[in-house]
């Protein structure tokens, strides 16, 4: 599915010629100063974290083509607009899956558009791709879920399944570093000229330099349990997002960050033990569901985050950090604890932690005997005929990276199964 633009492609692991472009920001920055030479415990450099080995730091890859964002819309939807068997309805809001109660068969969907209700009936089957939040919400609104939860909203049960009961997410935490240099703001005209040329800041708006993957539990493992993203200073300063749950002392802390001067190192816990939940707020489809990502519900996750602070210390010893005279921001809101103590870091992590919006697994794919199973290994909803779910909600658990690429794989695989099940050729 991918077209990887690189001078060094390992064809055993990477693809080219597919619809989805993967490339690096241009111009490429020299990363040699991030290496800690002569130290066995140092994080190594790897050429491509999506190839044979993930453990180490690499240049940041993006879904961009000539510097412009590549997405499902640009790679799949727009090229299909002229196909006779493709219809796209924009600004439409699906409110319910139509299910025949007697046969437990999905027949179509109800949706709203311009204030009117419409019905779309299916000839073969219904595929839901609403994501880890909307897909479980839609299933529950349609009578698929736990009877106790649905009855609270006067929704009649059609099929009892643990929809929304197994929410997984990557936990995030950021540390900020003050440098000895401030880069000037750049004019929009200059940035736009670079963007048209497929290079520069607007092709990589958060200015991420590297991704680093490590396993803090098992140094010999080839499977990472943590991801670190290094974000450079930016000539297009934006307000720091409100990620602090409105705790006043932490809000004051983030107000001191100057994105023209400061670097950010973000850590993401890739395989947390904590399990969250999604439940309906009401039977009204327009009401957002209740989401509990349950950060650090399992104490092991907080301990793992703390173990990851060792990488912050290694980063501070790199030639890169010394070149910019980087100084880590103190967590002034944790001054009651001894600086750099375990309690100090626990305090900082708990107050600065955030969801990375990598939610998954709320419509879990698993064998029927699994207590959280909702769909089978071809993404078909258990107990309901002609209904599939194809998005990150079906992931059995978290993955060792971001969900975007995996979602495309799920879509591609679902398309193959559907074509096979109905005897449809690739050209149809």
pLDDT single digits (tens) 184-209: 888 889 888 988 988 888 888 678 89
- Shared domain check, 365 and 262: no
Least-confidence region, from 64-68, 224-228, 276-280, 282-286: 64-68
User: What tens digit of pLDDT does each residue of 51-74 get?
Assistant: 999 999 999 999 999 889 999 999
- Shared domain check, 291 and 241: yes
365-390: average pLDDT: 98
Which CB contacts under 8 angstroms, 24+ apart, belong to 271-275?
Answer: 271/225, 271/397, 271/398, 271/400, 272/168, 272/169, 272/170, 272/171, 272/298, 272/301, 272/304, 272/398, 273/298, 273/300, 273/301, 274/171, 274/298, 274/301, 275/166, 275/167, 275/168
- Shared domain check, 396 and 348: no
Among 332, 355, 378, give the residue marking a domain's end: 355
Give the Cα separation of 330 and 337 in Å (integer).
12
- Shared domain check, 296 and 184: yes
Better-predicted residue by pLDDT, 401 or 26: 401
Whether residue 236 is predicted with pLDDT greater than 80 in this model: the reply is: no
Active-site choice (60, 170, 271, 358)? 358
Domain containing 373: what range?
A: 96-165+361-421
271 tagged catalytic: no
- Shared domain check, 370 and 326: no
Among 302, 327, 355, give the residue marking a domain's end: 355
- Shared domain check, 321 and 217: yes
Residue numbers belonging to the annotated binding site for FAD: 94
- Shared domain check, 173 and 161: no
* pLDDT value at residue 269: 96
* pLDDT value at residue 210: 92
Among 324, 340, 355, give the residue marking a domain's end: 355
268 tagged catalytic: no
Asked if residue 15 is part of any domain, the answer here is: no
- Shared domain check, 260 and 138: no
Whether residue 38 is predicted with pLDDT greater than 70 in this model: the reply is: no
Least-confidence region, from 5-9, 132-136, 266-270: 5-9
Asked if residue 396 is part of any domain, the answer here is: yes
CATH of the domain at 403: 3.50.50.60
Asked if residue 73 is part of any domain, the answer here is: no
Asked if residue 158 is part of any domain, the answer here is: yes
* pLDDT value at residue 242: 52
pTM: predicted TM-score of the whole model, two decimal places: 0.92
- Shared domain check, 242 and 211: yes
- Shared domain check, 351 and 376: no
* pLDDT value at residue 123: 93
- Shared domain check, 191 and 302: yes
Asked if residue 205 is part of any domain, the answer here is: yes
Asked if residue 278 is part of any domain, the answer here is: yes
Asked if residue 75 is part of any domain, the answer here is: no
Residue numbers belonging to the annotated binding site: 94
Count of domains forming the chain: 2
- Shared domain check, 394 and 309: no
Q: What angle do CA 122, 126, 129 make, to 5 degrees?
A: 140
CATH of the domain at 299: 3.30.560.10
**Sign of the CA dihedral 243, 350, 306, 295?**
negative
Asked if residue 180 is part of any domain, the answer here is: yes
């Amino acid at each position: 599915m991918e077209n990887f633009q690189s001078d060094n492609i390992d064809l055993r692991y990477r693809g080219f010629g597919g619809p989805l472009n993967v490339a690096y920001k241009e111009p490429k920055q020299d990363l040699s100063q991030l290496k800690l030479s002569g130290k066995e415990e140092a994080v190594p450099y790897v050429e491509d974290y999506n190839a044979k080995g993930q453990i180490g730091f690499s240049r940041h890859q993006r879904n961009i083509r000539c510097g412009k964002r590549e997405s499902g819309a640009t790679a799949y939807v727009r090229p299909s607009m002229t196909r006779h068997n493709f219809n796209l309805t924009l600004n439409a809001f699906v409110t319910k899956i139509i299910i025949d109660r007697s046969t437990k068969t999905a027949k179509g969907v109800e949706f709203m558009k311009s204030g009117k209700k419409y019905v779309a009936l299916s000839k073969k089957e219904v595929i839901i791709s609403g994501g880890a939040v909307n897909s479980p919400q839609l299933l529950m609104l349609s009578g698929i879920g736990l009877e106790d939860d649905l009855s609270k909203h006067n929704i009649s049960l059609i099929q009892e399944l643990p929809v929304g009961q197994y929410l997984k997410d990557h936990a995030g935490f950021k540390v900020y570093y003050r440098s000895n240099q401030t880069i000037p703001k750049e004019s929009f005209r200059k940035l736009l000229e670079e963007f048209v040329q497929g290079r520069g800041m607007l092709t990589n708006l958060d200015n991420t330099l590297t991704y680093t993957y490590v396993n803090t539990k098992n140094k010999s493992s080839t499977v990472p349990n943590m991801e670190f993203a290094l974000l450079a200073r930016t000539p297009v300063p934006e307000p720091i997002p409100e990620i602090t749950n409105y705790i006043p002392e932490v809000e004051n802390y983030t107000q001191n960050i100057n994105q023209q001067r400061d670097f950010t190192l973000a850590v993401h816990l890739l395989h947390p033990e904590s399990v969250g939940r999604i439940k309906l707020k009401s039977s009204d489809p327009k009401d957002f569901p209740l989401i509990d990502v349950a950060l650090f519900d399992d104490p092991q996750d907080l301990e793992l985050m703390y173990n990851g602070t060792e990488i912050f210390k290694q980063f501070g010893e790199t030639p890169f950090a010394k070149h910019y005279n980087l100084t880590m921001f103190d967590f002034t809101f944790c001054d009651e604890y001894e600086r750099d103590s375990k309690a100090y870091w626990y305090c900082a992590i708990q107050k600065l932690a955030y969801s990375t919006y990598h939610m998954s697994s709320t419509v879990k794919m698993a064998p029927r005997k699994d207590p959280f199973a909702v769909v089978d290994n071809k993404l078909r909803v258990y107990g309901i005929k002609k209904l599939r779910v194809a998005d990150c909600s079906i992931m059995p658990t978290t993955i060792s990276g971001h969900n975007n690429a995996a979602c495309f794989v799920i879509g591609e695989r679902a398309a193959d199964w559907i074509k096979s099940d109905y005897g449809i050729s690739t050209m149809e």
